[in-house]
Each structure stands twice: as structure tokens, then as C-alpha cells.
Amino acid sequence: MDLSNAVWVFIGCSLSGLLTALTGIPMYLRRQSLAGDALAHALLPGVCLGIWLSGYRDHWLVYLAGTGTGLLSIALINAIQKRSKIPEDGATGISLVLFFGLGLALLSSMQRAGFGNSGVQHLIMGKAAAMLPSEVYVLGGLFILALILAWLLFRPLWLFCFDPEFAQSSGMPMRQTEWFLNLWVALVVTASIRSIGMVLTAALLITPAAIGHFLSFKPKYMIGISMLSAGFSGALAAWWSAYQPGISTGAAMVVLLSLFAFFVLLAWPNLGYLSRYWISQLEKKRWIQENILKELWKARGLSDQELAFRCGISDAKSLRIKRSMVQQGLIDKEKGSWTLSRLGQEKASSVVRRHRLWESYLHERLNLPADHLHDNAEIVEHLLTDELESRLEAILSKPEQDPHQSQIPYKKS
């Protein structure tokens, strides 16, 4: 195909994102995020060796040797763990630095031997501007294969990641599955080196999966979100590097993806930290409003100070909230004292009714003494739904009074 270099870069980076995101999901779910990092680093000596031997950077020897040293590093981690008391993270650390060090040594001697202009210096950080069409074909082929495998093996793999004990007892070939996954990761990372670079591949294996998991617990949505976020950051990174040729695409992808991850964690509607904080503030305000209504319902003509005191808030805050309640048409000020509007009256009696019904329930059904009821009902009165309220009415058969002999205000019907 005769496409301009920028288009190849664009396709290549998007494919790298989609592919690494999909590949990283099992690693993330098995809590092996660090192993992905180690594997990516361990490809370096193999890839260097492949380039040295073949003289090309898109030769099949490069993929073979890269995958080979990647798998070797996993084998080393397993062996160290099995034959010594060094724990998994320790073994992973040892293997990572060993292989990466070997790779760096090879790399520097290759640069001295005149490989400097064949792009080996970009293996570590990635530079998609130098991407060859053949490398994009490999990425595309792997991506199609990944989609087919994911479609076929989605359920067994999900079981393998969720509950290895049950999977084993059901007869799943555990070791073969594990090596198959490792082999796949090694292949994908080798193919993505051109666009992302090995140091940052780990970020693209893990961050998309984390975003997907944060936003959805449904497997298919999680997978879709992961792939989309990584694919988009790949595409954007390619575009960015087209305008600013100095920038490495791998770094650009990781920066964009991480920014998106931060945005999601902070501000995603309903789930992000700020959104949840905002929702909890709204909820707090609703509780205070309901308490004000309730206190006014119980004792008309309360002074401002007395009302604020009974609701446990400062005078200033009480004033602010009352102003907003006037705007909502819940309360009014008549002759210097607060009164409830009809709407306010209705809401207030609902809160009191729920409070007293709940006290009756605790007293009758949980046999709690009278002095244990109030604090609990102070919370539950704000939470009960209409449906729960009518169920309470039914099982208590509409009591006239609560356990403290106060009248329960029912709706007039």
C-alpha cells in the first residue's frame, strides 16, 4: 500500500494501544502487573540479538529472540520462587534488572559497532516516526488474532484469572494456559516496541485495564473501555508526534493515557472522587434541610439560634440553608418567625412519620429498650423509601403512637 508515513504511524500507534490493552487485561486481573513490566524489560536483549544477527529490525528473528528472552525471564522468576524462599516480587526484581542490564550492554556495544542508524536507540523509548509498514502489518495481524482468541476463550480465561483453584479442579490445563498467556504477552510487547518502547509498554498493559475496571464491573464493558482508551491515546499520540516530531510516541501515549486515568479517577460522573464528594455534600444538605423541617414541624416559632442548635449546625450555615429552602418554597418567614409552607408541611410530616415508624419497628420487632431507638432513627428517617415505609406500616399495622407515646402523623387519604 502506498500511504504516507504519517498514516502508517497513526495506524500503528492505534493498533499498539488496542493490542496492549487487550493483552494486559489478564495480567491486571491476575495481579501480575509487575510481571508484565519485567517481561517487557527482558525483551531487550533478545530484540538486540535479533537485530544483530539478521541486520534488520523487522526480521522474524527479532520477534523470535525477543519473545524467547521474555519467556526465559518468566521461567527464571518461577524457578527462583520454587527453589528458594525469595518471594515473587523479589524474584521479579532480580530477573528484571538482570535481563534489562544484559540488553543495555548489548545495545551499547551494538551502537559502537555501527548499528547506530538502524534505530536501535529507539527501542527503549519508542519512536513511531521510524515505523515500517511491515511492522504495522504484524501489529494488525496480531490484533485480529487477539480478537478471535478473546472471543473464543473469553470465559475460560476469565475463570482462569478469577479462581485458579476452581479452574484447576474443573480440569483446566493450568500450566499450559499460563505459558500461553506469557507467550502472547511477549509477542505483543515485541511487536509494540517500535511505537511504544519497552520501558513504557508495562504502562499500556496495565493502565487501560485499570481504567476499564474502575468504570465497569461487567467484563465486556471493562474490555471495551480498556481498549478504547488505549486506542484513542495511541491515535492522539501519533497526531501529536506528527506536529512535534521530537516527541517519542511511547511517552506521548503514556502521558495521554495517564491523564485520562487521572481524569476518570477524579471526575467521572458518580464514580470519580470529586463526583462522589459532591454527591455526599448534596446528601448532607438534604439531611440538614429535613432536620430543619422536622424541628419546625415539632415546635413552631423557634428562634434562629434555637433552630440551629437543635440541628447541630452553625448559625451562618443555618441561615444559608434556610435561604435556599425559602427559594424552594419549603418555608417562609412570617412576623419574624419561620413557618412551613404546605409543601414543607408535607415533607416534614413524612420525615417525622418515618422516624416514629422506625422507632416502633425497632421497639416491637428488635425488642430494643426505649432509650436505644432515637439515635438510629435519626439516620434511618432520611433513608427510608416510600416502598419500605408502606411495608413498615403494613407489618406494624399502622400504630397510632410511637414507643415514646408521640402521635404518628399519617397522610390524610
Partner 1 sequence: MESKPIVDVHNLTAGYRRRPAIWNLDFQIQEGKFTGILGPNGSGKSTLLKCLLGQITPYTGYAHLWGQNVDKVRHRIAYVPQKESVDWNFPATVMDVVLMGRYRPGRFWQRLGKKDKEAALYWLEQTGMNHLANRQIGQLSGGQRQRVFLARALAREPSLLFLDEPFAGVDAGSAERILHMLKLLIEQGKSIVMVHHDLVSAGKILDNAILLNTRLVASGPVSEVFNHENLSATYGSDLSILSDVIDLVTRNPGRFKDPRNQKS
Rule CB under 8 A: choose which of 113, 114, 217, 386 binds partner 1. Answer: 217
Pick between residue 215 and residue 348 the one whose CB is nearest to partner 1: 215
Which residues, numbered 221-260, are part of the site for partner 1 (CB under 8 A)? 222
| CA dist., res. 322 & res. 246, Å (int) | 59
Q: What is the largest CA-CA distance in the chain?
A: 95
- Is residue 263 a contact point for partner 1 (CB under 8 A)? no
Nearer to partner 1, 158 or 232 (CB): 158
Measured from the CB atom, is 166 or 263 closer to partner 1? 166
With CB under 8 A as the contact rule, the residue among 159, 228, 247, 265 that binds partner 1 is 159
Complex with partner 1: residue 171 or 246, whichever CB lies closer: 171
Selected binder of partner 1 within 158, 232, 239, 309 (CB under 8 A): 158
Site map for partner 1, 186-215, x if CB under 8 A? --------------------------xx--
Residue 122 CB, nearest approach to partner 1 (Å): 35
Amino acid at residue number 327:
Q
- The reply on whether position 153 binds partner 1 by CB under 8 A is yes
In the bound state with partner 1, the residue whose beta carbon lies nearer, of 215 and 296, is 215
Q: Residue from 55, 101, 156, 329 that binds partner 1 (CB under 8 A)? A: 156
Q: Which of residues 10-39 bind partner 1 (CB under 8 A)?
A: 29, 31
Pick one of 140, 219, 224, 409: the residue that binds partner 1 (CB under 8 A).
Answer: 219
Least distance to partner 1, CB of residue 325, Å: 35
Binding segment for partner 1 (CB under 8 A), chosen from 14-22, 90-98, 156-164, 180-188, is 156-164
Is the Cβ of residue 170 or residue 303 nearer to partner 1 in the bound state? 170
Note the residues at the interface with partner 1 (CB under 8 A). 29, 31, 151-153, 155-156, 158-159, 161-163, 165-173, 212-213, 216-219, 222
